[in-house]
Structure 1
Amino acid sequence: MSERAEAHHQHRDVTGGWLRPSVFGAMDGLVSNFALIAGVAGGTGDTGVIALAGAAGLAAGAFSMAGGEYVSVASQRELALREIEVEARELADHPDAELAELTRSFIDRGVEPALAGEVARQLSRDPDQALELHTRGELGVTRDDLPRPRLAAVSSFLSFGVGAALPLLPYLFGAAELWVSAVVSCTALFGAGALASTVTARSWWYSGLRQLIVGVVAAGLTFALGNAIEGVAL
């Protein structure tokens, strides 16, 4: 008898609420502050003004991102919890109807009616398990896998700050030309996009190039706007 190798695999956490705000925060911080610095540099050559604008953009953006993430994720969580409570009341007030509903869900998945009914009855003996089955089937979530507002806010704040600091650093270390910040920013844009590909289905070069193009276009348009405003003001 030959032994068959048993394959094991693990999945990454896709519901913890940290990945999206972290990736989005870093990308947004990098792109928005690079564009802001480019826009100000397009309108003035004063490195002090440019650095001040970049620092203000970092602080304002980080706090705004954190607050926005907290409120939006908290609202999403509260809505889900409210709907879970509705389902819990339904299970308590109409157990037979909910049992029939669970049975139909198994039948719809291809289980024979008699077996589906028996499985539903056995699983429904535990109220917590029954609630989890119903909420996962009807809402797509359970209490245990809801996103966490504080985690989302902290992840967003830190990642935005890191991303926004990169185009600002050259000016803080004495650089006087935009191209230095642009080189750092473009390198970081491509690297951040490539890094994000490790948790997505895209190739590293596609993700990196996509993020680079987005950032360069945003900065280029903002730089042109700064130049135009400077020309009008003069």
Structure 2
Amino acid sequence: MSTSIAERGTDEQQPKPRIPAEGHHRDVNGGWLRPAVFGAMDGLVSNFALMTGVVGGNVGNSAVVLTGLAGLAAGACSMAAGEYTSVASQRELVQAEIEAERLELSRNPHGELAELAELYVSRGVDPELAHEVARQLSADPEQTLAIHAREELGIDPDDLPSPTVAAASSFLCFALGALLPLLPYLLGAHSLVPALLLSLAGLFTCGAVVARVTARSWWFSGLRQLVLGGGAAGVTYLLGLLIGGHVG
């Protein structure tokens, strides 16, 4: 007997490696996360900085509120339009590359099959097995196209980002972010202090929330966003102080 009972018992007591369940990964390619994050950050930082610059110019509360509302509306529309155009252009470029690959598959199927087999060989698969795998995977034209797109272009034809989702995410999140420094004034505040405190808290919170989908710690991400957003507001406030009295 090659293995004793004691040895088998020891082996059985060893913890088995845990295989992670499928489907636990976060969605990183759905077209909504990046515009949502950037929209919220942009809305908060830009409107906070815009309003502090106006306050530095020593204007009345009505002018501050009007500036904040205009910044919210203009920024949200601009961000949505920019995201829609950007993602739509990217999607059209990807679709053009997929169509080029489809045409190449129809013109030179044997060459594309050999190319796919060679790719598997380069990853350590035995040449005969690689050719057989490529042959079987190439039986369905649509599956073949999807495999070539993933392996050669690094894209998934079935998971392209949506311009509409990106635009809507950007618009809504920018508006929510831009509303934060404006909210105290809408509720009757007559100084910058409540808006300042709420905006700084929002900056730290946004940074900390972003850390949930990145590898950074929440406090680092929160402090980084707090410093960057606070710095932007400080610069515009100083500009308001310097040039506010010389305008109009």
TM-score (norm 2): 0.91
Which residue identity lines up with residue 123 of structure 1 in the other structure?
L
Q: 1:143 Cα deviation (Å)?
A: 1.5
The number of residues matched between the two structures is 234
Tell me whether 1:29 sits opposite 2:40 in the alignment: no
Task: Provide Cα deviations, 1:77-99, integer angstroms capped at 9, x if missing partner.
Answer: 01101110110111111001101
Which secondary structure does the structure 2 equivalent of 1:145 belong to?
Answer: coil
Kindly report which structure 2 residues correspond to 1:103-114, keeping only aligned pairs within 5 A, or say none: 103-114=117-128
Q: Which one has the largest radius of gyration?
A: 2
Q: 1:6 Cα deviation (Å)?
A: 4.1
Tell me whether 1:74 sits opposite 2:88 in the alignment: yes
Instruction: Report the equivalent of 2:4.
Output: none
Which residue identity lines up with residue 93 of structure 2 in the other structure?
L
Which residue identity lines up with residue 240 of structure 2 in the other structure?
G
TM-score (norm 1): 0.96
Kindly report which structure 2 residues correspond to 1:49-128, keeping only aligned pairs within 5 A, or say none: 49-128=63-142
Kindly report which structure 2 residues correspond to 1:141-160, keeping only aligned pairs within 5 A, or say none: 141-160=155-174
Alpha-carbon distance between aligned partners in 2 of 1:161 and 1:122, rounded to the nearest angstrom: 51
Q: 1:32 Cα deviation (Å)?
A: 0.2
Q: 1:45 Cα deviation (Å)?
A: 3.5
Among all aligned residue pairs of Structure 1 and Structure 2, give the percentage whose two residues are the same amino acid: 58
Alpha-carbon distance between aligned partners in 2 of 1:187 and 1:150, rounded to the nearest angstrom: 30
Alpha-carbon distance between aligned partners in 1 of 2:70 and 2:59, rounded to the nearest angstrom: 18
Which residue identity lines up with residue 172 of structure 2 in the other structure?
L
Task: Provide Cα deviations, 1:194-226, integer angstroms capped at 9, x if missing partner.
Answer: 011111111100110111011001000011111
Kindly report which structure 2 residues correspond to 1:130-149, keeping only aligned pairs within 5 A, or say none: 130-149=144-163
**Range with greater deviation from structure 2 (147-156 or 110-119):** 110-119
Instruction: Report the equivalent of 1:172.
Output: 186
Structure 2 unmatched ranges of 5 or more: 1-7
Tell me whether 1:8 sits opposite 2:25 in the alignment: no
Runs of at least 4 residues of structure 1 off by over 6 A?
Answer: none
**Range with greater deviation from structure 2 (108-117 or 5-14):** 5-14
